[in-house]
């Protein structure tokens, strides 16, 4: 994984220790004479959560560089509003100027860096003069408060009509300045620690394979706040406990990586998280390709797209792209490869939960198969639905989200399943049995409590509930198809179609169909009935069909007698056909897998009835 990240950084970025890209939301405007002219917001000011403007090469100090040497330090040119402007929105009595001594110390260091760098970049002295004036600081704080800025927001300078951070004039000064920081400890404290001894020797870099001085503490990865990470960032490689260390090595010497390589993989991951990542039920998926491809040709993006925005169904796009690669029309994609890492944050660490790589053609084939296996007729019996994004498929395993419920708490029950479904979509792996054991009880409760029927009558959340039902049924269908395919059989692939299959070999499937027709008969005879046979008997019928369905069939004779003769005969024919396919009779009990076939039979029969008009025929 590290080597792949290094290649990405080499091909797409310009990684250099001491520099990184940063998102900056605010800028202090001042003239070349140092006079304050105002504060502006950068980036897309109309966005609900405006991250600001990205500056690709900003000065950057690692955490050890910031805290070593017994001196209070700050970043250079770009820092948070608390450091640059002493801003604290809670301090109304002081004009929103912070009283924190540490913030004032960092502010003084920030100003001193501007003055030191002004020897190479003269306009920086104007910025230093501007924020050294207490009256100006007060004006900046008031302006930031008016614009609802946060103390953690990043801020820089616009001097004249230019951003100094975009200039390269200060780069050499900054490189030299960082070199002085490495000697700070030895100047103030001559004691050498075991970590110093370890990192003094050259070691083989785990990422590049070259001999290099290992970086004691690795740089932090940003962008995982929404999946358990910290605002300040998280460490991918770190050894802060004795239990993590061995052979008398200290800190990251246990997995030696040079500063250059650590900077490269940090920049690569930060760039990918920002530009090419998706959240899947509490985890973040980052992916890229060996050779660049057009966004429209990215099979992994299809798994996360909103189907309402698609010009062409993802399944059709996958099929067309696969045919183009196989026939040689897209030879540019033939030798390409994909890479995908699944990440989350935990206690300041980056958790790599999964790593996948493989041939591009194999990826397209697996994604195409994913859509094909999940394809199912919609609730109203029309053509197979356009599949929702993978996030929707995964969260179909959950109960409806409660008001004000934290997202992490909501998705917690399906922790392992989300990873297995992701692997099923990308690798073509089987869908775990845990999906069935969770879906079947959820579906039984969903059907038995009449949630969908009530929604359809009141038109309240009807679309949401039908979409949920369709997704769950498609997932059950895919489970059976993949299980038989992996075991070397094609029975389910041939018999489980998107729509109704009256010749399906499973008696459990036909039991579900029988339940659907019996429910239709009751609705036709007693349209105003309260709790019908579905609400009363569906759960029992799906587990002990022999005990329930025979009794309901006998009851249906009473309902049929209330219908007009042509309609009654139509239903009698449907019931007779299903009974004929049950062969030796109804099973006494059904296990979870057969209950899922019962659910599929029930759903597809209901969809068939709605498409054909049911009782209107």
State whether 120 and 225 are in the same domain.
Answer: no
In a domain? residue 581 = yes
Tokens of 61: 């100090």
State whether 149 and 218 are in the same domain.
Answer: no
* pLDDT tens digits, 404-413: 888 888 888 8
In a domain? residue 569 = yes
* pLDDT tens digits, 155-165: 999 998 899 99
In a domain? residue 80 = yes
State whether 241 and 127 are in the same domain.
Answer: no
From 120, 153, 180, give the residue that closes a domain. 180
> How far is it, in rounded angstroms, from Cα 106 to Cα 99?
13
DSSP H stretches of helix in 353-430: 360-374, 390-395, 407-411, 415-427
Q: What is the pLDDT of residue 311?
A: 42
From 256, 273, 290, give the residue that closes a domain. 273
In a domain? residue 61 = yes
Q: What is the pLDDT of residue 360?
A: 93
State whether 224 and 145 are in the same domain.
Answer: no
Q: What is the DSSP string of 574-608?
A: HHHHHHHHTTT---S---HHHHHHHHHHHHHHHHH
Phi, then psi, of 353 in degrees rounded to 5: -85, -20
State whether 159 and 250 are in the same domain.
Answer: no
Domain of residue 522: give its range.
Answer: 501-617
Q: What is the pLDDT of residue 509?
A: 96
**Which residues lie closer than 8 Å to 301 by C-beta, 6 or more apart?**
295
State whether 165 and 38 are in the same domain.
Answer: yes
State whether 145 and 25 are in the same domain.
Answer: yes
From 141, 157, 180, give the residue that closes a domain. 180
Instruction: Name the domain count of the chain.
Output: 3
* Burial zone of 215 (CB within 10 Å; 0-12 exposed, 13-18 middle, 19+ buried): buried
In a domain? residue 58 = yes
Q: What is the pLDDT of residue 306?
A: 56
**Which residues lie closer than 8 Å to 506 by C-beta, 6 or more apart?**
495, 594, 597, 601
> How far is it, in rounded angstroms, from Cα 286 to Cα 84?
33
State whether 148 and 112 are in the same domain.
Answer: yes
State whether 174 and 224 are in the same domain.
Answer: no
Q: What is the pLDDT of residue 189?
A: 40
State whether 29 and 78 are in the same domain.
Answer: yes
DSSP single-letter state for residue 529 = -
* pLDDT tens digits, 106-136: 999 999 999 999 988 888 999 999 999 999 9
Q: What is the pLDDT of residue 185?
A: 38
In a domain? residue 198 = yes
Q: What is the pLDDT of residue 613?
A: 52
State whether 168 and 204 are in the same domain.
Answer: no
Q: What is the pLDDT of residue 483?
A: 92
State whether 137 and 253 are in the same domain.
Answer: no
In a domain? residue 352 = no
In a domain? residue 135 = yes
Low-confidence ranges of the chain (pLDDT < 50): 183-199, 307-309, 311, 614-617
């Amino acid at each position: 994984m590290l080597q792949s990240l290094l290649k990405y950084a080499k091909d797409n970025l310009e990684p250099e220790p001491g520099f990184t890209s940063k998102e900056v939301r605010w800028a202090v405007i001042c003239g070349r004479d140092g006079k304050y002219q105002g504060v502006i917001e950068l980036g897309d000011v109309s966005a609900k959560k405006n991250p600001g403007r990205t500056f690709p090469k900003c000065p950057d100090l690692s955490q050890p560089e910031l805290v070593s040497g017994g001196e209070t330090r700050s970043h250079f040119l770009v820092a948070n509003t608390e450091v640059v402007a002493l801003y604290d929105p809670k301090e109304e009595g002081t004009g929103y100027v912070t009283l924190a001594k540490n913030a004032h110390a960092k502010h003084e260091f920030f100003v001193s860096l501007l003055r030191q760098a002004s020897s190479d970049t003269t306009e920086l002295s104007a910025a230093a003069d501007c924020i050294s004036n207490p009256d100006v600081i007060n004006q900046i704080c008031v302006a930031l408060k008016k614009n609802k800025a946060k103390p953690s927001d990043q801020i820089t300078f616009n001097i004249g009509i230019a951003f100094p951070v975009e200039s390269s004039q200060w780069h050499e000064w900054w490189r030299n300045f960082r070199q002085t920081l490495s000697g700070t400890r030895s100047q103030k404290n001559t004691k050498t620690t075991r970590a110093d001894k370890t990192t003094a020797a050259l070691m083989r870099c785990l990422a590049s394979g070259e001999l290099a001085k290992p970086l004691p503490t690795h740089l932090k990865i940003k962008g995982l706040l929404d999946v358990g990470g910290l605002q300040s960032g998280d460490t991918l490689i770190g050894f802060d406990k004795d239990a993590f260390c061995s052979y008398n090595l200290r800190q990251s010497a246990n997995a030696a990586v040079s500063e250059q390589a650590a900077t490269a993989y940090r920049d690569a991951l930060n760039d990918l998280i920002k530009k090419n990542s998706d959240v899947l039920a509490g985890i973040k998926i980052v992916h890229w390709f060996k050779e660049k491809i057009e966004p429209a040709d990215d099979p992994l993006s299809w798994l996360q797209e909103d189907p309402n925005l698609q010009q062409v169904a993802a399944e059709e796009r996958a099929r067309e792209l696969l045919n183009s690669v196989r026939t040689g029309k897209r030879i540019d994609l033939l030798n390409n490869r994909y890479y995908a890492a699944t990440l989350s944050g935990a206690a300041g660490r980056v958790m790599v939960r999964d790593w996948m790589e493989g041939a591009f053609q194999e990826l397209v084939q697996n994604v195409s198969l994913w859509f094909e296996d999940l394809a199912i007729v919609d609730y109203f019996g029309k053509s197979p639905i356009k599949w929702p994004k993978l996030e929707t498929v995964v969260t179909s395993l959950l109960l409806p989200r409660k008001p004000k419920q934290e997202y992490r708490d909501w998705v917690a029950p399906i922790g392992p399943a989300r990873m297995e479904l992701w692997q099923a979509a990308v690798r073509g792996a089987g869908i775990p049995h845990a999906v069935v054991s969770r879906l079947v009880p959820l579906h039984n409760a969903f059907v038995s409590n009449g949630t969908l029927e009530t929604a359809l009558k009141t038109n309240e959340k009807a679309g949401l509930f039908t979409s949920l039902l369709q997704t769950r049924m498609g997932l059950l269908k895919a489970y059976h198809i993949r299980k038989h395919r992996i075991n070397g059989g094609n029975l389910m692939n041939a018999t489980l179609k998107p729509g109704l299959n009256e010749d399906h070999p499973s008696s459990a499937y036909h039991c579900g169909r029988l339940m659907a027709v019996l429910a239709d008969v009751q609705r036709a005879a007693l349209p105003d009935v309260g709790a019908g046979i579905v609400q009363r008997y569906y759960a029992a019928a799906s587990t002990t069909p022999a005990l329930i369905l025979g009794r309901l069939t006998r009851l249906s004779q009473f309902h049929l007698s209330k219908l007009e003769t042509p309609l009654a005969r139509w239903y009698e024919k449907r019931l007779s056909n299903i009974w004929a396919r049950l062969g030796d009779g109804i099973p006494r009990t059904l296990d979870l897998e057969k209950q899922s076939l019962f659910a599929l039979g029930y759903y597809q029969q209901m969809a068939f009835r709605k498409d054909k008009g049911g009782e209107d025929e």
